Structure 1
Amino acid sequence: MMRRPLNLKAALAAATLCLLAPAWSGQTRGTPERIEPARTAAPPEHPVPPILPPPETAGALKFTVRRNAEGRELTLPFSQIGQVHHPHEVRRGQFRQRLHFELRTDELVRRATLTLMLAPSPDLLGRNDLLVVKLNSETVGRIAVPPASGLDRSGQFSTRLELDPKLLTDSNELTVQFAAPPQCDSAQFPRVSVNGHSSLQLTVQPLPLANDLSVLPSPFFDRRDPGQTEVTLVTSDRPDGSTLQAAGQLASWFGALAGHRGARIRSRADLPAGHAIVLATAQDRPAGVSLPPITGATVVLGSHPSRPGAKVLYLLGRDGTELRRAVEALVRGQLPAQGSSAVIDTLPEVAPRQPHDALRWTSTQRPVRFDELLRQDQLDQLGFSGTLPDAMGNSMMTSLQMRLPPDLFAWRERVVPIDLRLTHSPRPFSDPRPEQASIELRLNNEEPLLAENLAAGQPRRWLEQLWQQIDDKEVKREHRHRIRLPVESLGTRSYNAVNIRIDHGPFDERAQCLREAQAENSQGGRPDEAWSLPSTIIDGSSTIDFSDVPHYLPMPDLAAFANAGFPFTRMADLSETAIVLPDLPMREEIDAMLGVASRLGEGSGVAGRLLEVVRVREIDRVAQRELVVIGSAGSQPLFTEWVRAMPFRDLPVAGSGDLPETQEVPFWQRWLHGLWQRPKFPPLPQQTFRSVEAPAVIAGFESPLRAGRSVVALIGATAADLELLTDALADAERLRRIHGHLSSVRDETPEGVRPWYADPTYGSGELPWLTRLRWELSNKPVLLWLVLFGAILALSLITFVLLQRHAIRRRAGSPL
């Protein structure tokens, strides 16, 4: 009879160990709590900076535009049009550097000035006729290096060259090279660095365009223009709902076209001095603007009535449905190939989009090839034959830029598989130098993923040499590496990069000089083997696969909204998004709506053709959608109605004295809440609007109309203050500082943006049930112990019953 208690105790102990082991093993791997977004957990003064294209070097000049009587004055710094990461160097073994840039096709260059900032090596000082500058293969200037007295304190000098505007086309190549290739056997090592602060100044004027729909989206947008896209929409003083919705869809299209350049969309009630787009129906038309005949969904491109050279695009309809059809025909590219006008009767059906299929996001539904992550002009960087030296190292770096959905669930043990394939060809066997070759992969230049030696041992080299003598073919080694990237190392940044560095050992400048000289003078023959360099080619069919990572993001998260438009861009066509304006929106509030719509288009790369723009009285129609609510503190009644759901109170709105008072939470309730759920941040009090000392606020919270849906509110003390918010969303420096539940914008400086943090209150997305259970328990220690206790009790009871049955059968003499 004493054995039964012993068995019961053993069962209890075993059950306890079995259940506690998973819970404690998760804690021994790392932190037991949730891994919060780095941008939210970071202190306000040190936010995690997102990687924004194009990359910029510290202190680099920026693209600037000024308008004058002749047209536009453009300044194109080298750091913005191709020379980004480090100064270009003209040297022995690399005596030519090329820089590609593009210009708008609807503008004519009237004046062009090239400013070069050069840093020569000491052995070049005082020599004449050293460098030659070419534009599209035509020599445009020769540069002599001054003596040491002509250099500044940093060892540089600058020179200006006037360029012939007739040599410039829409696609151009600027070349800086030695006047004569240096002697490869010379003991001197001449070199000249071209600083990224060098720039090209252009004065351009618009070219007359035909009134032909085939030229669209020009002149309103040109992909070759590196500057911000500026578009003016013309509507009536009080546009109706259909016109507002058409304007929002159009703004998202321009945002998608502009991409990282950004789009500034403004509206007005009369024609501006430049290009304009008119949105009108038979009942809602701008006063004082003469419209073409409206016979249906009409699209007309015409000349500006008072400004020669400017164009006006008319998008018209007899009612709101036809107006939206005209806009949709434009954004979908369904206009005729010729003619100045078109009437759109019907449009073909479009297949519904799927979640997370935005064109600008790296696919998370299938393995993604490396050659999908590079633009066409970058594909050649997948191969490296030792011709791009980094300082004195025979190495090259390339980056696979990825823009990921912000809701990838970066938690614990999930991994992203990378299948890397490459081909390495070593130096010729006649080369007596030891073979050196390696490849290194890092995530965001920080997290090491792979460090592999590509060189072969001497026995393999002997076998390869023997086989080459038999087969007379170049030796190629195939390498394949399967890498497991921890998902948690991605954090929650929208932009990530896999940095690949290939190193072929010390750079042999003489060999490279001979190789380039032979290429310069050869007629397509085979290069001399003595000058051959190793070659490493990365196969474009290498893949990275995010398809096994679930989508879930603790909300609210304003950084996800600012960087990628999430959660609104989860459906790229904005079919689950609505923008809510006051019943009588002011012009500044309409412009804020256009700015938000263009940002959402930029975030997805797709026109928001299913975006809804409604006024407050129509809010019930879009209650099931994600909402962007825009208004000033005195014009938007939802800010008063939803005050309990918002992370602040006491808005300076009409009737604010009737707002519900915020009750002080007793200490014992706060203590119990902290015991039940482990907080990451101190509780965010409901901020008094006046206390944030800023005229504009952007806030995120759960929709009061439907659980699990998000609301982002853009609030200004006055309607004019809303421009601070849209400008902050369009500026890379200020955008980096938008985080957490709420961000206040005081002025136009980066320091004027202040984030406010709190623990997440809801989530966006779905998790597997077991992952969701572990995620919830990891942040609720009391609930974890209750679940464990209940499971232990249930398992113990089951074990006890089984032991009892076993004892009864034994006493009865029945077989076990």
Structure 2
Amino acid sequence: MSRFAKKTFFTSLALMALASELMAAPLPLPTSGSASAPKVPAVESTAPLPNWSVTRTFEQLGRPTDTLLLGINSAEQVEFTLRRDRIASDASLQLNYTPSPSLIPTLSHIRVYLNEVLMGVVPIEKEQLGRQTQQKIALDPRLVSDFNRVRLEFVGHYTDICEDPANNTLWVNISRGSSLTLQEQALSLSNDLAYFPLPFFDPRNSGKLELPIVFAADPTLGEQRAATILASYFGSQANWRGAKFPVLFDALPSVQNKEATQPSVVFATNDHRPAFMSDLEKFPAVDAPVVELIDHPDAPYSKVLLIMGRNEEDLATAAKALALGGNLLRGSRVTINKVEELQPRKPYDAPAWMRTDRPVRFAELVAYPEQLQVSGLQPRPITLDINLPPDLFVWRNQGIPLRTQYRYTAPSANDDSRLNISLNDQFITSLPLTRKDTSRLEELRLSVLSNDSANVNDKLIVPSLKIGDRNRLRFDFNFASTMGSAQRDHCQTILPANTQAVIDEDSTIDLSGYHHYLSMPDLKVFARSGFPFSRMADMSESIVVVPSKGTATQVSTLLEAVASISARSGYPAFGVRLSDDWQSASKEDADLLLLGVMAPEMRDNPDLSLLLQRQHDMLVQPYGNTAIDATNRRGPSIDGRNQPANRVEVTAQAPIAAMVGMQSPSHNQRSIVALLGNDDADYTLLRDVLTDSSKMDAVAGSVALIRSSGIYSQLVGDQYYVGNLPWYLLMWYQLSEHPVLLAILAVISVLLSAFLLWRALSWAAHRRLHKE
């Protein structure tokens, strides 16, 4: 060893010894007068962090059917997410597959990738051919991040010479029952609002949001309104996932062990706060709206969000600040100085709805990058979701302009390669993909007239379509290609080209110029779009009528009902009003959402088809009990099937709830949606429906009865209309369901026109004769 090396070695030993002595010596504590003393972090507990196993099937991850991997379409990928406040300590893939019986064993196999890293190879053995097989593959948890892809690649062989990749014997079926299992571990988060909305909501979590809300006993209307605003914010963020808000009075959610990770939100004013906040030294009074993040006293890994204020207005201000100013939050405690609305909302400006005042570019409709781009000989379809206001009046319109620009890899010859366009699974047209034109522009019209479905000509007239509130526009690129020859005396194999196609982001769809007009009551538009309350995205023209002293379950129903509306509009209900006085609320020029029992003065309303009381239940039935078939119509009823014909009254003890739609007694352009129930068991049924999108899709008509067996909907009573139409369009619309009257009016119009023309000609002839 050289002299320099020896010197360096002994110097390193001396430094290590000095560091050991410093670490062993006690640190001097800062004095109370030291203003710049650094904060020493608390010592972390040596207890293990909370962890649990989560298993999701391919069906739960967005693959509702089995996946068939072929020789020319040999790859498929499944995406899954992980919350930012968790890490994966272990991961595995349970692959359920059925290989073709014609495959050559061992040579045929499946490659498994996680985030583009090969995790393993699954060989296809002889005894597996034609049989369902299960195989478990370990995944590297170090590669699991917040967004992940598992890609499966099928390598299949059926012969050892002159193999055709397009041969229909090359396949393996991947079952939708295949699953991914993650051993998730919670991270120990600091009390920092900079991560908000974590840990209360994470968009990477595909499960239903569940967030307990805590009040003092008997929460006031102002406190409920503040919680409603915050719940609507979380509802708009959760969107299709659904959201549940269990309500507790005077107590935090109980924890079964200290490793629980359930966050919660507490609303408290200086004069009305939960019992566990009675210690004013630990929770002093505030002089402004304050938001603070603390640990659960019984579970250090659970966070509690305290929303405090001097009064109810401060609570609403703090809730709005959380929804609007989340990017400004930092630290464990924030004081809200001001929340000001600079520009009021306008009707039909909900972020979840496509704009109808101008042409909309496809770039404004995409939900994720590369949504408009595909590759492969059999690429996946390109889809765009188009959500519209449910009262958009497209009756008797000449069509919806669709300006489509697309590019693609030019085929080797002019063959049968085509682009198929459909809307809501209804075929529109098919466009050829030629060899020369690799970039094309097509201007179509999505017609809403009753044209024949076979009308195809150079002007690309498309069949009649029904535009609804939820629409899916689909583009299917189908490339034809000659892969090779399987003749043994002339063996030829051609490597498939890397075929790609893209729908340009500058493509547009134009729904401007349409009027708003809709027949009501129609609970389907409430269930699917939150209409009429979502007409103003902030619900500024809506009033929620609640019981004067609501139970915890009733308050939960309130929060979840408004959150479901915001989930469909995509915007929090900043302008919602709450009232416990039916008489004053019914006189307001606003749409009413009634929660509880029907007001006594409404029980004699002829439009009321259902009444739930503790003593007995009443239901009015239409003719034939089949009036629900008129729910989706856009014109007046052509017969009296939806008129009341029978009345039934029963007495029972099992829970029952209902949704009822009717016209406001004070304003003919306003509607009432009543969520009826008598006790907590009834409200539990309502909550199960409000937080489940599949159950909400079953709600329709003017009455929806909710029982343990399911949902029964019917349409009873007279219809009314909301919105406005020009007089000429309104006249044609009203006469469209009366062809005889329309024919009589046409004959009268012709005779009157002929008479006027005859009189004009007679006058002209008489004048000419007198001049001569």
Taking structure 1 as the reference length, the TM-score comes to 0.75
Provide Cα deviations, 1:536-557, integer angstroms capped at 9, x if missing partner: 4322211111113222111011
- 1:399-418 matches, cutoff 5 A: 399-418=383-402
Amino acid paired to 1:503 = N
Partner Cα separation in structure 1 for residue 587 and residue 465 of structure 2? 34
Q: Does 1:196 align with 2:189?
A: no
Q: Does 1:145 align with 2:137?
A: no
Aligned with residue 116 of structure 1, among 95, 105, 115: 95
In the other structure, the counterpart of 2:17 is: none
Q: Does 1:267 align with 2:243?
A: no
Residues 278, 139 of structure 1: alpha-carbon distance in 2 compared, 3 angstrom cutoff: same
- 1:303-702 matches, cutoff 5 A: 303-334=295-326, 336-379=328-371, 382-385=372-375, 387-389=376-378, 396-428=380-412, 435-446=415-426, 448-455=427-434, 476-487=437-448, 489-491=464-466, 493-506=468-481, 508=483, 532=497, 535-616=500-581, 619-620=584-585, 623-631=588-596, 636=597, 638=599, 640-648=601-609, 651-652=612-613, 678-679=638-639, 681-685=641-645, 687-688=647-648, 690=650, 695-702=656-663
In the other structure, the counterpart of 1:744 is: 705
Q: Does 1:249 align with 2:229?
A: yes
Residues 506, 165 of structure 1: alpha-carbon distance in 2 compared, 3 angstrom cutoff: same
SS in 1 for 2:275: coil
In the other structure, the counterpart of 1:22 is: none
In the other structure, the counterpart of 2:200 is: 220
In the other structure, the counterpart of 1:465 is: none
SS in 1 for 2:728: helix
Tell me if structure 1 keeps the 8 A contact 2:655–2:681.
Answer: no
- 1:46-125 matches, cutoff 5 A: 71-83=51-63, 87=67, 89=69, 92=71, 97-122=76-101, 124=103
Tell me if structure 2 keeps the 8 A contact 1:577–1:611.
Answer: yes
Residues 483, 138 of structure 1: alpha-carbon distance in 2 compared, 3 angstrom cutoff: closer
Partner Cα separation in structure 1 for residue 649 and residue 581 of structure 2? 22
Partner Cα separation in structure 1 for residue 752 and residue 102 of structure 2? 85
Provide Cα deviations, 1:52-104, integer angstroms capped at 9, x if missing partner: xxxxxxxxxxxxxxxxx955442222233354565152x65566544332100
Number of aligned positions between the proteins: 675
Q: Does 1:720 align with 2:720?
A: no
Residues 739, 694 of structure 1: alpha-carbon distance in 2 compared, 3 angstrom cutoff: farther
Partner Cα separation in structure 2 for residue 323 and residue 755 of structure 1? 39
Amino acid paired to 2:669 = G
Tell me if structure 2 keeps the 8 A contact 1:235–1:267.
Answer: yes
Q: Does 1:168 align with 2:144?
A: yes
Provide Cα deviations, 1:625-677, integer angstroms capped at 9, x if missing partner: 1111010xxxx3515535415432564268x99x9x99x99xxxxxxxxxx98
Residues 330, 276 of structure 1: alpha-carbon distance in 2 compared, 3 angstrom cutoff: same
Partner Cα separation in structure 2 for residue 305 and residue 618 of structure 1? 44
Instruction: Give the superposition deviation at 1:449.
Output: 1.6
Partner Cα separation in structure 1 for residue 495 and residue 585 of structure 2? 77
Tell me if structure 2 keeps the 8 A contact 1:111–1:203.
Answer: yes
SS in 1 for 2:369: helix
Residues 491, 103 of structure 1: alpha-carbon distance in 2 compared, 3 angstrom cutoff: same
Partner Cα separation in structure 2 for residue 437 and residue 615 of structure 1? 64
Aligned with residue 766 of structure 1, among 724, 728, 733: 724
Provide Cα deviations, 1:305-324, integer angstroms capped at 9, x if missing partner: 11110000011110111111
In the other structure, the counterpart of 1:187 is: 163
Partner Cα separation in structure 1 for residue 766 and residue 656 of structure 2? 79
SS in 1 for 2:124: coil
Amino acid paired to 1:491 = K
User: 293-302 vs 783-792, which deviates more?
Assistant: 783-792
Partner Cα separation in structure 2 for residue 371 and residue 116 of structure 1? 36
Q: Does 1:297 align with 2:277?
A: no
Tell me if structure 1 keeps the 8 A contact 2:390–2:525.
Answer: yes
Amino acid paired to 2:728 = L
Instruction: Give the superposition deviation at 1:235.
Output: 0.8
Residues 648, 183 of structure 1: alpha-carbon distance in 2 compared, 3 angstrom cutoff: same
Partner Cα separation in structure 1 for residue 540 and residue 521 of structure 2? 20
What is the alpha-carbon root mean square deviation over aligned residues? 3.7
Provide Cα deviations, 1:312-354, integer angstroms capped at 9, x if missing partner: 0011110111111000000112563421111112124332222
Instruction: Give the superposition deviation at 1:595.
Output: 1.3
SS in 2 for 1:582: coil
Instruction: Give the superposition deviation at 1:507.
Output: 6.4
Residues 684, 92 of structure 1: alpha-carbon distance in 2 compared, 3 angstrom cutoff: same
Partner Cα separation in structure 2 for residue 87 and residue 129 of structure 1? 18
Residues 502, 162 of structure 1: alpha-carbon distance in 2 compared, 3 angstrom cutoff: closer
Instruction: Give the superposition deviation at 1:684.
Output: 3.2
Structure with the larger helix share:
1
Residues 509, 325 of structure 1: alpha-carbon distance in 2 compared, 3 angstrom cutoff: farther
Instruction: Give the superposition deviation at 1:616.
Output: 2.2
Partner Cα separation in structure 1 for residue 116 and residue 431 of structure 2? 41
SS in 2 for 1:339: coil
Unaligned regions of 5+ residues in structure 2, if any? 1-48, 256-261, 450-463, 487-492, 624-635
Residues 596, 481 of structure 1: alpha-carbon distance in 2 compared, 3 angstrom cutoff: same
Tell me if structure 1 keeps the 8 A contact 2:108–2:156.
Answer: no
Partner Cα separation in structure 2 for residue 120 and residue 74 of structure 1? 28
SS in 2 for 1:377: coil
SS in 1 for 2:568: helix
Provide Cα deviations, 1:772-811, integer angstroms capped at 9, x if missing partner: 111122345787588668867976886687578668757x
In the other structure, the counterpart of 1:755 is: 713
Amino acid paired to 1:683 = Q
Tell me if structure 1 keeps the 8 A contact 2:353–2:569.
Answer: yes
Tell me if structure 2 keeps the 8 A contact 1:211–1:340.
Answer: yes
Instruction: Give the superposition deviation at 1:247.
Output: 1.3
Partner Cα separation in structure 1 for residue 299 and residue 750 of structure 2? 82
In the other structure, the counterpart of 1:710 is: 671
Partner Cα separation in structure 2 for residue 510 and residue 333 of structure 1? 64
Question: Sequence identity, in percent?
Answer: 29
Tell me if structure 1 keeps the 8 A contact 2:610–2:660.
Answer: no
In the other structure, the counterpart of 1:43 is: none
SS in 2 for 1:79: coil
Partner Cα separation in structure 1 for residue 647 and residue 52 of structure 2? 46
Amino acid paired to 1:754 = Y
Partner Cα separation in structure 2 for residue 221 and residue 175 of structure 1? 28
Provide Cα deviations, 1:189-248, integer angstroms capped at 9, x if missing partner: 655443222111223242221111111111110000010011111012211111111111
